[in-house]
Structure 1
Amino acid sequence: MPTVAEWFLRGLALHDVDAIFINPGTDTPALQEAYASLTHQQVKLPKLVTCPHEVIACAAAQGAYLTTGRAQVALVHVDVGTANAAGALNDARASQIPVLLCAGMSPSALDSSVPGGRSKFINWHQDVPDQHALVRNYTKWTQTISVPAAIGPAVDRAFQIANSEPQGPVYMAFPRETLMSELADGGLIGPARIRSVRQGTLSTDEAEAIVERLIAARNPLLVTAYVGRTPELRRAFVELAELTGAGITEYRGRFNAPLEHPQHLGFNPEQQVVEADLMVVVDHDVPFVPADLTLQDDVHIIHIGNDPIQQRWTTWGFPSDTVHSVNVGRALDALIAAARTRQDDPRIAARKVDIAARHDKMMADRDQRRAAALSGGAISPMEVGAILARVAPEAMVIEEAVTSGNPFAYGFTPSEEGSYFRNGGSYLGWALGASLGARLGDPDQLVVTVVGDGAFMFGAPTPALWAARQNGVPLLVIVLNNESYNSVVLASRQDFPDGA
């Protein structure tokens, strides 16, 4: 009779999982045996990818999603493996990446004759009061599979929640006895009838009202961080800017708009928002850092996204004059439809002239900074970006360069086929594993990893590079070495300008 472990693996295959990124332990033999048994039966299963560190497994699952568009799975070892992987879930939550993190749990049965019962000294040390607490701050849903019959509904539910907007990570844990239990029917339904939630769009009136504000404003600004999740969304965002004559500023979480576009005003929103009398914030969590900023008295701020007020955070604090909880792609379509009826308004063309002049100044300042660095004999992050743009503009860049990130992004101008991904959350050590997963998800994709020296060390480089070599994955890793924890240096100087 099939085991719960076999039904779990069948469930992953049913939900189109491509890979299981596994860091095995004494709780995983039931899954390993089930995998071998089903493989002998010629059951099609996700690829098993061994990762010698949990953060590599969890980040690789996220990277594979970036190239496949499908939620992937990381499997780690009991409480300690969960703890090691937890930081990477912070990035998955921030970037709205659906990933299923799974872990075993210490057995409860003390009788070793019970399949899966305690049989090793370490089983007692793996017994913690609340294993889920290690990841609950970062996950949308957690569940312990405490009885065999729960496996099918739990797998279905995990993917339903992870894939519902806003997408994000979920967590499932299995006691060892449960995995080894036999079960005639796993109770799986599958994605055809377990649908995830996709949010709606703006009404015609809502879209027309936003477009009217964009056209009527003196200095309208489109602010984003993640609208470039797909090329289609990026193109729609740029078209909205062109139709309404609004400036663009962004946090480079994704390739949201070409830097060389005449309406692009750069990657430093704080420099632009102080002049805006209208901000339309699209798919962004922290549109600007408000410290020491004075906004215009009459500024109107509109937030558009699948969670526009960031309900997962305790403190947020941004003015939200108008809020629309929507699917971003559908909302952009509605806005474009409304804007096309107004594109001949003379105010738009006049404003584009002013924005283009500001854009030209921003680009001239960029070129001066690049030249100054070169004259000093340094290979700056901007220069590295410019060289990469020249030799591989089509690359998928996975960047975790922290204080060197924006300078690099000012140099790297990808082609239409190129892409750009930053970790999003506050956990460092994401990029190496994410690059591994991205390349496994699409073996033909050129992936370039750009990291700071600190992020490189945090990313468990030895396990990451071992996993890449073991799986035949070629990686190009560029380390921007500023020889310091520069973000800490800058914070210290800001907090203590006259310090010792």
Structure 2
Amino acid sequence: CGITHAFVNWGSDHPGYWKSSSGNRSRGTDFRLRPGFWEARAVIVHTDVGTQVRLAGAVHNADKSRTPVLIYAGASPSTVDQDIRGGRNEWNMYTQDIHDQPAIVRQYMRFTAQISSSKHVSQMIMSEPQGPIMEEEITDIPEPSGMLKWPIIEPAALSESAAKRIAQALSSARHPLIITSHLGRNPAAVDSLLALSMLLALPIVATCPAVVNTPFSHPYFCKLTYLQPGTHSPLLRRADVILVLDADIAWVPANEAPSASARVFVLNSADPLNTNVGYWHVDAELVAKADAASALEQIFTEVRALDTVARDVGKPILHTEGVLARGKRKAKVHADWRLTAANALGGLRKALAGKRTLVLNEGVTNYPAVWEHLRPEARRWGRISGRQSQPCRGRDCAFDIVVAIVGDGSFVFGAPSAAYWMARRYDTPYLTVILNNGGWQVSHNDRLSIGMGAECPDYSQIAVAASGNVAWGRRVASDTSLDDLNVMLTEAVSVVVEQGRCAVLDVQIEA
């Protein structure tokens, strides 16, 4: 069915599965980290406890990041007759037997049922809307010869009238704007987005991104925001035409919203009404389910056609003063030297120059800073929600180095003792940069803070101890000079790439 890797936690089924498995074997499913990788994978857990404990917040991640993954959860044996193969012989087989195991995660799944053919798996996982599916049993029923194949569902295009309508609106707009969140899951859509943006000098804003939607070097990429009050682009309020592409949350009305007169067009490749969200609505002129790459190509073609017609009457659309005036680019510079997240990340970017790098962003209150100061160009960029843990398994990874950028809270919540021992056990080195602001600042309320403040542990040495003193760890104090920070960043990268060991930098940034 096209699945080549499984992440497993077998419980009492462990010996039987282990004996029958082939290839690389590693116990312990870190499904929490699968979001950010869009090839189909499988996760195997055991009964209700595996479904709850091992999947945990990963189910939320897979749902919201639209990660195609098959979750297979075995059930307790259904008989006590020892003459029948597979009968109960352990006490936990009674306590782990519940009536409706898939109900634990059903509302996050695209599909929950028994699969009668493994050929169906690929079609269900890789067709839109992508996301997790859960099965309790997969059986291959004999199929008659000549049975139709099981292709992935072809992506939908815009209707001709919708493509013309959007093209006309963008072409005539004085202040157009494009907003996207996860368009970058489809590399073809990124190329189409850049082409349309360059054609009309359309500014692009990324809201709550989980992937790279636009190279940060693109001249019309204007802003990245996680929608806290006052952080949206100023272009939002004055925009007269807004194209929302594959974005679950384009703005939060209570914080910032476009003008009531703005024309809003919402296009989504899978679920334009966000039916897996309890309440969702955007005031829009048009809402359509359409593949982003196909839709953008259609709009591009229609704009070209409109320009040809307009030139015949002396009113061209492209290369006019209005279009050219939108093509201005802002330059960003670092502030005076202080040990801030911005300066630490700027130094990290320099240390990683020339290396194929996979970055996992769990900066929490520093989510935007990580994006803005590392300025990634390629789409393989992950955001993992809720905790930091082992980000990459095996040295056959397609990257020179894997970097997890985390807050001090998410580092603690990520069970570092297990993560760094696993990294040593399975030879999977990676770099962790802890943006340590001395507490759980996400609450935005000093009275609610549960941080440890200036007396916090030396997190780097927790990792060193957990690895049996194999990992490399350093604490970067707040009074560290720029030169010393750059030396430690360079050394940390070298430890991972050249020595094959985990490296951890506990950077004590300004709160």
Verify: 1:404 aligned to 2:373, yes or no.
no
Which consecutive segments of 4 or more residues in structure 1 shift more than 6 A?
A: 188-192
> Deviations for 1:450-499, whole angstroms, at most 9, x for unmatched residues?
22222223333333333333332221222222222222126989xxxxxx
The alpha carbon displacement at 1:99 in A equals 0.5
| Structure 1 segments unaligned to the other structure (5+ residues) | 1-14, 40-44, 145-150, 494-500
Change (3 A) 1:123 1:34: same
Change (3 A) 1:205 1:217: same
The alpha carbon displacement at 1:202 in A equals 1.7
The alpha carbon displacement at 1:60 in A equals 4.3
The alpha carbon displacement at 1:313 in A equals 1.3
> Deviations for 1:327-364, whole angstroms, at most 9, x for unmatched residues?
2222222222223445684565434554345x42xx44
Verify: 1:421 aligned to 2:382, yes or no.
yes
The alpha carbon displacement at 1:320 in A equals 2.5
Match of 1:389 in 2: 349
What is the distance in 1 between the residues matched to 2:386 and 2:342?
21
Change (3 A) 1:113 1:139: same
* Equivalence map 1:455-474=2 (5 Å): 455-474=410-429
Verify: 1:288 aligned to 2:251, yes or no.
yes
Match of 1:59 in 2: 32
Equivalent in 81, 91, 102 of residue 50 of structure 2: 81
Equivalent in 81, 94, 100 of residue 130 of structure 1: 100
Change (3 A) 1:82 1:294: closer
Residue 175 of structure 2 aligns with an amino acid whose one-letter code is: N
Q: Which moved more, 1:335-344 or 1:241-250?
A: 335-344
Residue 134 of structure 2 aligns with an amino acid whose one-letter code is: Y
Change (3 A) 1:28 1:189: farther
Change (3 A) 1:60 1:18: farther
Match of 1:498 in 2: none
Verify: 1:121 aligned to 2:91, yes or no.
yes
The alpha carbon displacement at 1:189 in A equals 9.5
Equivalent in 44, 48, 56 of residue 25 of structure 2: 48
What is the distance in 1 between the residues matched to 2:348 and 2:189?
24
Equivalent in 27, 40, 50 of residue 13 of structure 2: 27
The alpha carbon displacement at 1:441 in A equals 6.8
| Structure 2 segments unaligned to the other structure (5+ residues) | 226-231, 449-511
What is the distance in 2 between the residues matched to 1:312 and 1:198?
22
Normalised by the length of structure 2, the TM-score is 0.76
Change (3 A) 1:77 1:330: same
The alpha carbon displacement at 1:382 in A equals 1.9
Higher RCO (CA < 8 A, seq sep 6+):
1
Change (3 A) 1:237 1:135: same
* Equivalence map 1:213-232=2 (5 Å): 213-232=169-188
Equivalent in 132, 136, 139 of residue 169 of structure 1: 132
Conserved? CA contact 1:90–1:138, under 8 Å: yes
Change (3 A) 1:284 1:131: same
Match of 1:10 in 2: none
SS of aligned partner of 2:150: coil
What is the distance in 1 between the residues matched to 2:91 and 2:43?
26
What is the distance in 1 between the residues matched to 2:116 and 2:398?
31
Residue 25 of structure 1 aligns with an amino acid whose one-letter code is: G
Flag the structure with higher helix content.
1
Change (3 A) 1:189 1:490: farther
Change (3 A) 1:192 1:453: farther
What is the distance in 2 between the residues matched to 1:113 and 1:134?
32
Match of 1:355 in 2: 326
Conserved? CA contact 2:223–2:233, under 8 Å: no
The alpha carbon displacement at 1:28 in A equals 4.0
Equivalent in 255, 258, 267 of residue 224 of structure 2: 267
Residue 50 of structure 1 aligns with an amino acid whose one-letter code is: R
Equivalent in 12, 26, 40 of residue 71 of structure 1: 40
What is the distance in 1 between the residues matched to 2:241 and 2:447?
34
Residue 428 of structure 1 aligns with an amino acid whose one-letter code is: G
What is the distance in 2 between the residues matched to 1:62 and 1:188?
34
Conserved? CA contact 1:453–1:479, under 8 Å: yes
The alpha carbon displacement at 1:418 in A equals 6.6
Change (3 A) 1:295 1:481: same
Q: Which moved more, 1:404-413 or 1:449-458?
A: 449-458
Conserved? CA contact 2:242–2:264, under 8 Å: yes
What is the distance in 1 between the residues matched to 2:161 and 2:284?
19
> Deviations for 1:418-454, whole angstroms, at most 9, x for unmatched residues?
742223xxx412x534x225x6673445322222222
Match of 2:60 in 1: 90
Two-structure CA RMSD over aligned residues (Å) = 2.9
What is the distance in 1 between the residues matched to 2:241 and 2:397?
40
Change (3 A) 1:418 1:89: closer
Residue 223 of structure 2 aligns with an amino acid whose one-letter code is: G
The alpha carbon displacement at 1:391 in A equals 3.1
Conserved? CA contact 2:216–2:376, under 8 Å: no
What is the distance in 1 between the residues matched to 2:154 and 2:396?
24
> Deviations for 1:206-233, whole angstroms, at most 9, x for unmatched residues?
2232121111112110000111224433
SS of aligned partner of 1:286: coil
The alpha carbon displacement at 1:241 in A equals 0.9
> Deviations for 1:231-257, whole angstroms, at most 9, x for unmatched residues?
433222121111122211112321112
Match of 1:302 in 2: 265
What is the distance in 1 between the residues matched to 2:344 and 2:431?
13
What is the distance in 2 between the residues matched to 1:467 and 1:230?
32
What is the distance in 2 between the residues matched to 1:292 and 1:418?
29
Aligned residues: 429
* Equivalence map 1:324-339=2 (5 Å): 324-339=288-303
Conserved? CA contact 1:20–1:48, under 8 Å: no
Normalised by the length of structure 1, the TM-score is 0.78
Change (3 A) 1:229 1:108: same
Match of 1:16 in 2: 2
Match of 2:494 in 1: none
